[in-house]
A and B are shown apart, each in its own frame.
Chain A
Amino acid sequence: MLKMNKIGYIIGREYLVRVRKRTFWLLTFLLPVLYGLLIGFSVMMGRNPGIDDQQVNVFDYSGIFNGKLKDSENLHFLYQKTGEEKTFIELLKKSENQHVLVIPEFNIQENVKVELYSAKLAATFISEQVKAEIRQVVKDERIRSLGLNQEIIQSLDPEVNVVSQKITEAGIEKDNSIAASTIAGIAGFLNYMFVFVYGSLVLRGIHEEKQNRIVEIILSTVKPFELMMGKIIGVALVGLTQFMLWVVLIAGITMIGLPEVIQQSNQMSLPAEAQDILNTLSSINFPLVLGVFVFFFIGGYLLYSSLFAAVAASVDNQADMQQFTVPLSIPLIIAMVSINAVIQAPNSSFSVWMSMIPFTSPVMMVARVPLGVPEYQLIISMLIMVASFIFTTWLAAKIYRIGILVHGSKISYLQLWKWLFYK
């Protein structure tokens, strides 16, 4: 029978020892701070894209353009008296932000050729904007010369929006592929990181206990299984604490920073795709993604950390440890590098299998969920996960209880196998 109060003491120690460490808080705050900086940076960039105001001095011999070229945020048109362009071109040599635009007389029905002088070759956005503005003015002139109404012409110009639709059994869904893929990739990678980072904490913790020989004193009062589970659960709670803090902090930063970013992107009207992402983010089922994430974090972590625990208990030195931890980590690494393949084709048989095998599902299923997974697959994968970690913890406990007291001998797989049958 398990003694819950003792497991409680062990969990408490394992948790507090780690949470009190400076490195824990450093890492906990570093990520949101980086994220905050990223948001802050893009806000800053939005306010000042790093380009000084540019002034285009217009010498208009055609007389059509006066006042009609539209300024943009960084580009201003200034109309100058014709005939003085030579002096201006002399002055240009001193300033990189001054340009001279010479528009000759031309027939409104013919092509237009203008000259743009700059100290250095003008940035593309300047020449592009100049071109667009001139074209607009000439077009308007031509329309007027035909005697047509401006508004009628505008009404002829249709606005076209292509909305991708995804057909599923349940009907037609709004496609959110870019946003969803991003979320899928991040979630899969995060879970890979979590399982690895916290699995290694268990590995190191048990190795330390074995090395400094405290374990026997403890084992005279608690069962090996209780000690192992206490450690695994304690470390898991550290992981969840860190994750929750991240969620809260990042959500906080997002709420403060994102409206600003959205507002700016609206003003700039430039990143239509970005806007799409922002809009479609809201269509993802975040509670489901988060729930599945936490479930597979716990499941994958229990699976890997129990096996790591068995390894740490069995071997004496770090070098021998690798012989066992490397093969154990390979499936997880394969899962990580296959995230992209799964995102590209979330319902391929490769993806489905990878999200069923418990050694890869903590990464794969988490990556698939934001892209849409049939419910039955999710449920089967979860059941396999639960059955697997129950099995691995049982297996690990059997090896752990013998291994933790063995010193000085090199351990082979055969030996581990034999330990399973020791009384």
Chain B
Amino acid sequence: MSTNCVIVEDLQVAAEYTRKCCEKSGMLEVKGHFTNVPDALQFLNSTTIDILFLDVEMPGATGFDLLDQLGYSPRVILTTSKPEYAYNAFEYKVVDFLKKPFTYQRFLEALQRAIAQEDNGGAVNGESDNHIFIKSDGKLVRLNNEDILYIESMGDYVKFVTADKKYITHNTIKALEEKVNKACFMKVHRSYIINLTKIDDIRENDLFIKGTEIPISKAHKQDVLRRLNII
């Protein structure tokens, strides 16, 4: 599956070159190119993207203004001709900083950094241990581990259930099993990952969380019991 991206750049030749680099990489799908911040924001706040190639100085507003107003945090690769912005880039935790004009090789290095961060669930220095971000309704929503009761499979989608809300997102239990914090979460059935701290009681081959009955498969039952503090 390709990673999607958007180019925000007012210099036409730079935008065209960046688009060509994206195409050449074979790893990116360019969802759009915008020459100013308001147009980019309108698109980005209705469509979640993975990587943002962002110029800094544009007419009316800067790339940093865009990041301030964006409702989620894509991986950002700054493309600018002014190295003085490196400090701001650090402050905004951008993945990389490409000085125009940049070579394709340099572009690939930046892209690999962005993808490596993506594979790490967007984690920066282990900050994601106590929370995750999920894509839901066109935005990235932060869910603290302590708020998640369980995660249920719905075919190609999964449902994150908290005490007061349910979030449906495109994912699988199998993929999530690798990404969630294993200290809190555990797969108990092919269709369920549960928060171990939320179990109210266990009866035979089912466990209960806030009144919801969740099956425990035979393959997982011993592991579940081992993880509980049984006196």
Q: Do A and B bind?
A: no
Residues of A within 8 A of B (CB): none
Residues of B within 8 A of A (CB): none
